[in-house]
Structure formats: structure tokens, C-alpha cells
Structure 1
Amino acid sequence: MTRGAGAGTHGGRANRIGLNALYQALDHDTAIKEYQQRSSLMPPGTLVSYDLTAAPIVDFTSGYQSGKWSPLWEDCYCDWRHWLFNERIEPPSWIIGDEIVSSGAKGILFKSRLTPNGTNLAVHTASDSADHVDVYNPNNALPRRD
């Protein structure tokens, strides 16, 4: 649960296919909305909390600001699925994800498109980029993977 392989298989806002990323929301409501996405029905799943330390992290929670970010960052909140699946164009947010990795940052903090005040964190997990990541599981309720 700490490898980000699902996002690596399918891609995500801040990672292209082949680049693992662990996506987290900073609050429960955002976590549920992000998991549900645009579906009217909630798919089965398990929500977990993480104990995570990773630095540096790119903070994009204030959004695009000319002079602070390159013009490409204007499209960070693009509908990356539409670009990829409908237009067959590489989403600009994937290039931004590449820039984050090449800069040495371990991830990006950004506003959720699904909840008005929600914030997400995507940590690129290639080569153990997080300083520390553990699933919070105090009673060992989650199944163990051997």
C-alpha cells in the first residue's frame, strides 16, 4: 500500500504511466471524494491513514502565479484523463510531474478538483523517495502482504 503501483500502472495527475506515486488527501472528505472520483456509486475499498515524512515537497496549493511558475504550470489542473484518452495527447500535468522528480522534490501538494477546500499530496515513490511512509495500522487489522 505504500508503493503507488496503482497510479504507476494507470497514471495520475502528477505522474505518467510507469512512474509510481502515492496519492493522499489531507482530510477525510477529500479522501472519499478523490477515491469515488466522478462516479455516482462508491466502489468497494479500504481507506487508510499514513504516517509519512517526505521533503522537499513542491507546494502548488496557491495555484499558478505568473513569474513564480513556468507557463506549463497553468495547466497543472487540466483534465488529464481527457487529454490522454480522448485527445491522445500527453497531459501537461505529466510533464510537470517529470519536472518535480528531476528537480529532486519528492512530491507535490495541490488543491483537489473534487472538494472546494481539499488538498492532496502526491509522493513519487520511485527509489524510496519518501523519507518515511507507513500505513497507520495500530491493531494489525489490515491483511499482511508477504
Structure 2
Amino acid sequence: MLLQDGRYAGPLYRALNPVYAREPLSGRGAALHGGRFNPKGTPALYTALDPATALREANQVGSLQPTVLVSYKADIGPIFDTTDMEALNQYELSSQILADPGWRAQMLEGRPVPTQDFVRRLLTDGFAGLLTRSFANGAVQSNPNIVLWRWTGEDYALEVVDDENRLGRM
């Protein structure tokens, strides 16, 4: 079981564009561009529970690009579990809507994106993030992600693992 009482405690991984490597806790890139699970203007950290999934997430278009892999220690919640169909139904959402590959085109055309509207509701309801399967090419149902919108403050613990200050020397 990944979540205990709606919280996740354990390692998380994120593959960053080197432009953001010095700011692995900023969420700025996601805020600038928007994503499946964050509207433009909403900072987000798209993390994975294993390094390979993190690499897939960061390199979804074309060939593998330069990437910085970062590890975190996390104890954060509440996290919404999208694998809980009953909870998902309460938000009038389905697995098919979550997986819809057309979200990016909708966003670029200025049309509503159901997954971004869902996130707005989760934020209003006090969620720090959500647990979902990865939709990156090559990912399978057993490759989960945790997307975070809130990770700083007394209720959240998210720490970059960088004992040797390698990111500070980039």
C-alpha cells in the first residue's frame, strides 16, 4: 500500500531539465507551461516512485534529452489516490479522462482541460497532491507518480537528497 491514511512517506524521484536543476523544489517549469495535472500558473512537482519512470516522464517527446535525476525524502499528504475508483467517482472522473492524450491540445487551444479542473477542485479540498499512474510512453499501470502542488510548510516534509551538495556546484 503506497498511501497510509492519505499520506505518502518514502523516496520520490524527479528528472529535471538542467535549467531547473539548481531549484529542484521550485515547480516553476510546470507553472510556466502547465501539465496534465496542473493548470498554468500552478507550481507542481511531477515525481515518480522509481528512477526509470521519472526519466520517462521528463523525456516524453523525441529522444532522451540532458536530464538531472533528483531523489527526495518525502512525508506528505493528504494525497488523493486516483486508483480508488469510488473516490474518483465522487469527482465525476474516470480512468479514461485521466489518461486522455488530448489534454495538451485542449490546453494549447484554450479549451477546458478536465484533469486541470479536477486539480483545482482537489486544491480547494485541501489536497497536497495526487497519486496516479504514469502516462508517459513505455509506462505501465505499475509505474506510479505522485504529483505535488503543496510541499512546503509545517504539514509537509520534502527534502532533496544531496548530501554532497552536488546541485550547489552546478
Structure 1 portions without partners, runs of 5+? none
Tell me, yes or no, if structure 1 residue 16 matches structure 2 residue 44.
Answer: no
Match of residue 51 from structure 1: 73
Which one of 141, 149, 157 corresponds to residue 132 of structure 1? Answer: 157
Q: CA deviation at 1:130?
A: 6.3
> How many pairs does the alignment contain?
142
- Seq. identity, %: 30
Tell me, yes or no, if structure 1 residue 35 matches structure 2 residue 58.
Answer: yes
Secondary structure, aligned partner of 1:29: helix
1:22-46 per-residue CA deviation (whole Å, 9 max, x = no partner) reads 110111121111111132x111120
2:88 and 2:38 map into 1 onto residues whose CA distance is 24
Tell me, yes or no, if structure 1 residue 71 matches structure 2 residue 96.
Answer: no
1:100 and 1:42 map into 2 onto residues whose CA distance is 32
Match of residue 3 from structure 1: 26
1:67 and 1:48 map into 2 onto residues whose CA distance is 30
Secondary structure, aligned partner of 2:167: coil
1:144 and 1:16 map into 2 onto residues whose CA distance is 32
Q: CA deviation at 1:61?
A: 2.8
Task: Give me the CA root mean square deviation.
Answer: 2.4
CA contact (8 A) 2:27 2:45 kept: yes
Which structure 2 residues correspond to residues 65-104 of structure 1 after superposition, within 5 A? 68-73=89-94, 75-79=97-101, 80-85=103-108, 87-104=109-126
Cα distance change, pair 49–66 in 1 and its aligned pair in 2 (3 A): closer
Secondary structure, aligned partner of 1:31: helix
Secondary structure, aligned partner of 2:90: coil
Secondary structure, aligned partner of 1:43: coil
CA contact (8 A) 2:31 2:40 kept: yes
Q: CA deviation at 1:144?
A: 6.0
Give TM-score scaled by structure 2 length.
0.74
Q: CA deviation at 1:129?
A: 8.4
CA contact (8 A) 2:106 2:113 kept: yes
Give TM-score scaled by structure 1 length.
0.85
1:53 and 1:106 map into 2 onto residues whose CA distance is 11
Higher RCO (C-alpha under 8 Å, 6+ residues apart): 1
Amino acid at match of 1:138: D
Structure 2 portions without partners, runs of 5+? 1-23
1:52 and 1:27 map into 2 onto residues whose CA distance is 13
